Amino acid sequence: MSFSEYQLLSVLAQEMNMRKAAERLFVSQPALSQRLQTIEKEWGTKLFLRSQKGLSLTPAGEAVVRLANEMLAKEEKIKESIQAMEHEVYGTLKIACATIVGQNWLPKVLKKFVQTYPHAKISLITGWSSEILRSLYDGQAHIGIIRGTPDWKGVKKHLFKDMLYLVDTEMVRLEQVLETDRPFIQFKSDSNYYQEIQDWWFRHFQTAPKNTIVVDQIETCKQMVFNGIGYAILPAITLHDKDENIFKIPLFDEHNHYLERDTWLCGYESSFQLKQVQAFTGIVQEHIREKH
């Protein structure tokens, strides 16, 4: 039966009078009578008995009216839930995030998000920025947090810049790189980031590092540097004030500006219409304002 038929039976059972029920349902009495006959035909039995005093329910009618009232109560509950969703943030927020941001910046943002919107769920995947773009193209993520200068035609919001430093336990000046035999420790990354470092290096030193170690993760690279094995170029996002016994030498470009790395929030316009994405964007903006 349709919900209108459930409503019809419920009103009839409440009024036990065809005229009064017809008035409440805004239909004529003959039309109501005809609809009741159709419902009874579908059930294959009488649901109401008619008399001069009005209507009375048959045992079958009592069972069907009970069902009708249960269905109407469920419908009302669902309507209330839907109305609540208009004011609350529900659904899953699907984020694809550059690993370095996922490890160092995103956790604090997500903590605020889940505290503010406890009904929302989070799906998070991390990887290189090129993999994040693929996740957006494939629809696996609503939004992507990408490092560098992403080739993205959709919505692109700038989040922050962070400086690049030459980090070491011994050297305090860039020129000492030419004197040391300790290795330059590099971590695997997207080609544009790797190329940016290579370009800076040759522009500044006009020669390759004497000795190089390549590791697969930036965190491995950082720990090797912190343990005095060699030196590395690391973004500020991975370095913290509590990191002691470490020298951080800022890098400059050919225009004598700080060498920096950009981080962007990207996604399709349709994704930014989703309530959970709008809520996340608001938390991100609030977090950035607090940082400044």
pLDDT in tens, 129-171: 888 999 999 889 999 999 988 889 999 999 999 999 999 999 9
Query: In which band, very low, low, confident or very high, does the pLDDT at 284 lie, cut at 50, 70 and 90?
Result: very high
Strand partners, 160: 263
53: exposed, middle or buried (Cβ count in 10 Å: 0-12, 13-18, 19+): exposed
Q: How far is CA 44 from CA 39, 61, 178, 185, in A?
A: 9, 11, 96, 82
Residue 81 has pLDDT above 80, yes or no: no
- Mean pLDDT score, 260-284: 93
Question: Does the predicted TM-score (pTM) go above 0.75?
Answer: no
Residue 122 has pLDDT above 80, yes or no: yes
pLDDT for residue 70: 94
Strand partners, 166: 233, 249
Superfamily designation of domain 92-160+262-291: Periplasmic binding protein-like II (3.40.190.10)
Q: What percent of the chain stands above pLDDT 70?
A: 96
Task: Please tell me if the domain spanning 92-160+262-291 has the same topology as the one spanning 162-260.
Answer: yes
Query: In which band, very low, low, confident or very high, does the pLDDT at 42 lie, cut at 50, 70 and 90?
Result: very high
pLDDT in tens, 202-227: 988 888 888 999 998 888 999 999 99
Count, residues in the chain: 292
- Alpha helix (H) residue ranges in the chain: 3-15, 18-25, 29-43, 59-87, 99-104, 106-116, 129-137, 191-205, 218-226, 275-291
pLDDT for residue 108: 94
Cβ atoms of 91 and 82 within 8 Å: the answer is no
What phi-psi label fits residue 245: left (phi over 0), alpha (psi between -120 and 50 degrees) or beta?
A: left
Q: How far is CA 158 from CA 101, 132, 221, in A?
A: 14, 16, 27
Residue 249 has pLDDT above 90, yes or no: yes
For 3-87, CATH gives 1.10.10.10
* 160, two tokens: 């922050």
Query: In which band, very low, low, confident or very high, does the pLDDT at 76 lie, cut at 50, 70 and 90?
Result: confident
Domain ranges of the chain: 3-87, 92-160+262-291, 162-260
Options 3.40.190.290, 3.90.1150.10, 3.40.50.10210, 3.90.550.10; CATH of 162-260: 3.40.190.290
The Cα 117–Cα 166 span in angstroms is: 39
